[in-house]
Amino acid sequence: MTDLERRYLRLLSAYPADYRRARGAEIVGTYLDLAAPGRRWPSPADAVDVLRGGLRQRVRATGAADLVPGVRLAAVLALLAATSLAGVWTVLELRPPPPEFGDPAAGPFVSLGIVAWTAWGLAALVHALAPARWTRRAVALAVLLTLALVPAAALTGLPRPPLFVLLPQVGLGLVALGAPDGLPAPLRAMPLVAAIGANLAGTNLLHRHVFAGSYYTWTVVPVLPSAAVVVLGVVVLLGVGLALRGDHRGGWAVLILLTPVCLLALQPLAGALDGMPSRFIPSWTALAATAVLVTLVGPALLPLALALRTRWTRLARTHPSLPR
């Protein structure tokens, strides 16, 4: 057995055991036939393909065949929300504070956030014009640049958006990485249209003299919780409508989007934890504790739901009268 074959077999552990026994040799043989001569390691594309196929088969084994469509639906809504928010934040970045309030070193923008928000606008443009694989790359770049704002601000001493603005953007971006292939042109254009619409609305509605000290802090009080309500409302309505037709992908989309939605509503949730009225800004400790709680509990709900679905599927096989 060659090193390459051994490494493909290790990757194959992503598949369920029964599937590996039935088709493992065939799958590995196919990859070996296509590999370049002398290759010792699987290519990154092959590794991702094997892992993705294994995950797909494990999901099918649970009886949750509608999970993957649910991921795709959640990705479309997440990209729509992320690009819309980026459009709003871009307006604020382009309105630097007066000299007496601002940091002259910050230049023509309020903070380093303009780099990330521009990347999100680029992701919306790529989604409208290019195949889905390029959208995923553009979204990944936007997520990385959003995360990079924290160390960049520490190294340069320039201001950046607060973490309670960056966290939901990263959460939405991670979900948006599941952007589906083959969407019709009008759906592909929606994030770009939403970003432009949010930018125009922000230009007309946001106050022109918001100085740096209250730039994001006071703007996110209405914007982020409102975005949370809109995203949750849309996905729940879609989920109910699809469930009435026997399609449960909307339920999975709700679970997948729950963490980004809670991050969008971080301030009111932290305010409730802090015991403060919603019109006040919660303490940093309450915000941090709520963010940690959300990022731990939210993602844990999906495997829990999958485990419950698996158990229900097994019960339905032994009791045919139960709905599947």
For residue 219, name the pLDDT band (cuts at 50, 70, 90).
low
Residue 40 has pLDDT above 50, yes or no: yes
Alpha carbon distance 300, 89 (integer Å)? 30
Least confident of 11-15, 162-166, 248-252: 11-15
Which pLDDT value is given to residue 11? Answer: 83
Q: The pTM is what?
A: 0.78
Average pLDDT, the chain: 81
Least confident of 9-13, 25-29, 95-99, 121-125: 95-99
How buried is 199 (Cβ within 10 angstroms: 0-12 exposed, 13-18 middle, 19+ buried)?
A: buried
Give the 3-state secondary structure of the chain.
Answer: CCHHHHHHHHHHHHCCHHHHHHHHHHHHHHHHHHCCCCCCCCCHHHHHHHHHHHHHHHHHHCCCCCHHHHHHHHHHHHHHHHHHHHHHHHHHHCCCCCCCCCCHHHCCCCCCHHHHHHHHHHHHHHHHHCCHHHHHHHHHHHHHHHHHHHHHHHHHCCCCCCHHHHHHHHHHHHHHCCCCCCCCHHHHHHHHHHHHHHHHHHHHHCCCCCCHHHHHHHHHHHHHHHHHHHHHHHHHHHHHHHHCCCCCHHHHHHHHHHHHHHHHCHHHHHHHHHCCCCCCCCCHHHHHHHHHHHHHHHHHHHHHHHHHHHHHHHHHHHCCCCCC
Residue 308 has pLDDT above 90, yes or no: no
Q: What is the pLDDT of residues 48-66, one digit of tens each?
A: 888 877 777 776 666 566 7
Least confident of 65-74, 111-120, 213-222: 213-222
The percentage of the chain sitting over the pLDDT mark of 70, rounded to a whole number, equals: 80
Backbone angles phi, psi at 234, to 5 degrees: -65, -45
Residue 6 has pLDDT above 90, yes or no: no
Which pLDDT value is given to residue 248? Answer: 83
Which pLDDT value is given to residue 234? Answer: 94
Q: What is the pLDDT of residues 274-305, one digit of tens each?
A: 666 554 567 778 888 888 999 988 888 887 87
Q: What is the pLDDT of residues 107-122, one digit of tens each?
A: 577 788 999 999 999 9
116 HSE (CA, 13 A, CB side): 28
Which pLDDT value is given to residue 211? Answer: 42
